[in-house]
Amino acid sequence: MPLVRRTLATLAGVIALVLLATSPATANPGPAPTSMASLGDSITRGFNACGWYVDCTSRSFSTGSDSAVDSHYLRVRRLEPAINGRNHNAGRTGAKSADLYGQAGTAISQGVGYVTILIGANDACTSSESTMTSPATFRANIDSALNRLRTGLPNAKVFVISIPDVHRLWSVGKGSSSARTAWSLFGICQSLLANPTSTAQADVDRRNRVRQRVIDFNSQLAAACAAYGSNCRYDGNAVFGYPFTLGQLSGWDYFHPNTSGQQALASVSYAAGFAW
pLDDT, tens digit, 9 for 90 and up, residues 74-114 = 999 999 999 999 999 999 999 999 999 999 999 999 999 99
State mean pLDDT over 125-132: 98
* 13-27 core/surface letters (b: 16 or more CB in 10 A; e: else): eeeeeeeeeeeeeee
Task: Using a pLDDT cut of 70, give the percent of the chain over it.
Answer: 89
Residue 21, C-beta contacts closer than 8 angstroms, at least 6 positions apart: 27
State mean pLDDT over 225-241: 98
State mean pLDDT over 253-270: 98
List, for residues 11-44, the tens digit of each pLDDT value.
344 334 333 333 344 455 679 999 999 999 999 9
Domain boundaries along the sequence of the chain: 29-271
Q: Where are the alpha helices (DSSP H) in the chain?
A: 2-22, 72-79, 100-110, 121-124, 135-152, 166-173, 177-185, 190-193, 201-228, 259-271
Beta carbons of 162 and 156 less than 8 angstroms apart: no
Helices 177-185 and 166-173: crossing angle in degrees, nearest 10, is: 130
- Closest to 149 (Cα-Cα) out of 137, 140, 157: 157
Pick the CATH number of 29-271 from 3.40.50.1110, 3.30.930.10, 3.30.750.24, 1.10.10.60: 3.40.50.1110
- Closest to 236 (Cα-Cα) out of 159, 140, 168: 159
Q: How many residues does the chain have?
A: 276
Give the residue, 17 or 154, on which the prediction is more confident: 154
User: Is residue 2 very low, low, confident or very high in pLDDT (cuts 50, 70, 90)?
Assistant: very low
Q: Return the half-sphere exposure (C-beta side, CA atoms, 13 A cut-off) of residue 264.
A: 20
